[in-house]
Amino acid sequence: MNEASKVLIVGPSWVGDMVMAQSLYQLLKSTNPETEIHVLAPPWSRPVLERMDQVTRAVELPAAHGELALRRRYEVGRRLRTERYARAIVLPRSLKAALVPFFARIPIRTGYRGEHRYGVINDMRRLDPVVLDQTVKRFVALGPTQEGMPLPPPAEPRLRTDESSLAQVKRRLRLPAAAEVVAMMPGAEYGDAKRWPLESYADLAGRLANVGVDVWILGSEKERPLGQAIAVSANHENVRNLCGRTTLGDVVDLLGAAKVAVTNDSGLMHVAAAVRTHVVALYGSTSPAMTPPLTSSKSVFHLALECSPCFQRECPLGHLRCLRDIAVDDVLSRVITALGDPGAGVRGSAHGRGIASGTTDRP
């Protein structure tokens, strides 16, 4: 391997962004197949990075989100000097995110202007929010593109699933063999303004369970109470709260086994898209124009009210109509359509329309 093709990527701190960053890795590999990609990222991200064909090595950054941890960053950078990277690409826009490549003495350090990074970032790019109107485009634009040339369309992320690991987790969780599985992800780390109401999830889960569909509620330990509230309200043995009982790697495999995923705009939405499960995405305070599920197999609900997207953690008006007004009947219709479509999860669904705005499945 030519040393000139070894690249260190400083990865994002969120699950969804970590998945979307794969579009950059795909571009790097398509430009030069010999490129060796190492990703500096939080320890939790390893199960995601290990499922990406383009990533050679995940380098753990022992620092919590938002933590400066200057000495630890210096020690990691010093250890990485022996790797002799030709280039670093820093995806986050903070100063601290750029420190490890600087300490590692990587000659070319690419990133966007932000937080007084002059000198630490020596290949400074300007972020044009009009041209780079999606998060994934902002990642891809830091790749090997020439000034003035059009940005290549971002490739859809693809995470590998593991049938052996899936069989093990299904045995551990005592999940029966089911012909039809719908996954539900009711959480959203950002805040309540991104969460479809629990009563709506419970209503949907109960209706699906009553017609023989298995419903798996997925999320972290923090989201276990959300999952439990849905399972108790649905009151059906086919509705199982798996929140907090799985690793992130388990969730990748379980989502790959589901035919449909009903989800808020969250990190697990992007995981579901990357394993080619049909995504039914519910947007409230955020916008599908900026962070769409990167798959052609999707149904997007976004009411496009006058007050949305507000990008707030809590509804500033107190009514959360952007999510409460998404009807369970409409979501159920999309789920049933996808379950009845043998190509769902492999190709895009061409059925139905968006709510209120009259948009198609594409945001």
Rounded to whole angstroms, how far apart are CA atoms 37 and 113?
Answer: 23
Is there a contact between 90 and 61 (Cβ–Cβ < 8 Å)?
no
How many Å from the N-terminal Cα to the C-terminal Cα in the chain? 41
In the chain, where the domains are located: 3-140, 163-340
Mean residue pLDDT across the chain: 90
CATH topology for the 163-340 domain: Rossmann fold (3.40.50)
Entry pTM: 0.91
**Coil, strand or helix at 169:** helix
Assign domain 3-140 one CATH number from 1.20.120.1630, 3.30.565.10, 3.40.50.2000, 3.30.1360.120.
3.40.50.2000
Let me know if the fold of 3-140 is the same as that of 163-340.
Answer: yes
**DSSP reduced 3-state for 159:** coil
Q: Are the C-beta atoms of 284 and 308 separated by less than 8 Å?
A: yes
Angle, CA 39 vertex, CA 168 and CA 187 arms, to 5°: 55
Over range 176-197, report the average pLDDT: 87
List, for residues 251-279, the tens digit of each pLDDT value. Answer: 999 999 999 999 999 999 999 999 999 99
Q: What is the pLDDT of residues 31-56, one digit of tens each?
A: 999 999 999 999 999 999 999 999 99
Distance CA 216, CA 258 (A): 9
The pair of three-digit structure tokens given for residue 111, joined into one six-digit string: 């990133």
Tokens of 38: 């190492």
Whether residue 286 is predicted with pLDDT greater than 70 in this model: the reply is yes
- Inter-residue contact 301 to 331 (CB < 8 Å): yes
DSSP per-residue letters across 89-118: EE-S-STGGGHHHHHTT-SEEEEES-SS-B
Is residue 248 helix, strand or coil?
Answer: helix
CA dihedral in degrees (223, 226, 227, 230; nearest 10)? -170
